[in-house]
Chain A
Amino acid sequence: MTTNPLDAGLFTLTHEMHLIEEYSPICVAAGYLPENVSQLVGADCYALATKIMGAIKKEAQANFRTVKGVFEETDYVACLRSMSPRELYALRERISFLPIPKPGSYAKWAEAKAAQ
């Protein structure tokens, strides 16, 4: 555990950057506009991507799974790209995602949760 506030801040920002880089491609592939996705904080990106992945899990695990030795990987982006615009629209309708109403980053959310 780092005690230096600079290190802690850097760790938080890096973690948030990782969340955005990891999960925003899934949101964009699901048909959300890139300019809207680029304004989501890490927690929102993660929440939306989780919803999308949950919605297409069965299809993706059946057809877009790659096995590398003992590891298994599911390519959700490829699965979303294989879907038609109509299907993606229906998916977005089903998810009906709204970002977290409170302004703040994942770090603030995590802080609040830790305080509870």
Chain B
Amino acid sequence: MHRLQGTKQHASTRAPEDDSKSFVGGRLKMPANYPPEKVAVWKLLFNPLHKRNTMTKADSAAATIIVEMWLRWQAVSALASANPIVEVTWRDSGGTDRVKQVESPASRMATTLEHKLLAALKEFSATPASREKTKKTKEPAHNPGKVMTELERISAGIAELKEQQAAEAQRNEERDKQADADTEALEAINLEDIKI
């Protein structure tokens, strides 16, 4: 109506602009050439979180660090479970050798990594207590794009049919050439040369 009459919509009737402070949601970007074991960890940790729509692409760096930490924790944890306690020997002031059992360095490292991992997962709201802390990201704006007109649809259909026609003509031409070549080859055979 406004376009017909050359007028503009009044500010009071216009839809308010989106001024929300939330970010548009997205998926985390996995680094290029990621080895399969890292991909597996990535999927294990972040695929369920993607369904919550709480992530943005900018969180990918933190996610990469968590994956590295997870793999290191797995390696150290295997060592720690194999040898949780190690024997330490030392010589006292009287010159006697003494032995005692202590927690292995691998076990200590594994414990530290576990604490760090838990803290990092809390940042992503991947623990039960922190589940509600991250807010849902904004839905991306719906952009339907250009709608194809009926004329464009028909033109596309005509172009496709013409392509098919050209391909069929080429096939027919090749078949005719092959048939001509076969006929020539048959004519070239001298029946008198054939001895039974």
Complex: A13 Cα to B165 Cα, angstroms: 14
* Given A6-B168, A85-B4, A13-B158 contact (CB < 8 Å): yes
* Given A39-B147, A39-B149, A10-B154 contact (CB < 8 Å): no
Cross-chain contact of A39 among B4, B150, B161, B168 (Cβ < 8 A): B150
Complex: A9 Cα to B163 Cα, angstroms: 13
| Residues of A in contact, count (CB < 8 Å) | 18
B154 CB contacts on chain A under 8 angstroms? 13, 16-17, 20
A42 CB contacts on chain B under 8 angstroms? 150
The reply to whether the CB of A14 lies closer than 8 angstroms to some CB of chain B is yes
Identify the closest chain B residue to A40 (Cβ).
B150
A38 to B158, Cβ gap below 8 A? no
Between A10, A41, A85, the greatest number of chain B beta carbons within 10 A of the residue's beta carbon is seen for: A10
* Given A17-B154, A17-B155, A10-B147 contact (CB < 8 Å): no
Query: Shortest beta-carbon distance, A76 to chain B, in Å?
Result: 20
* B interface with A by C-beta (< 8 Å): 4, 147, 149-151, 154-155, 157-158, 161-162, 164-165, 168
* A interface with B by C-beta (< 8 Å): 6-7, 9-10, 13-14, 16-17, 20-21, 24, 35, 38-42, 85
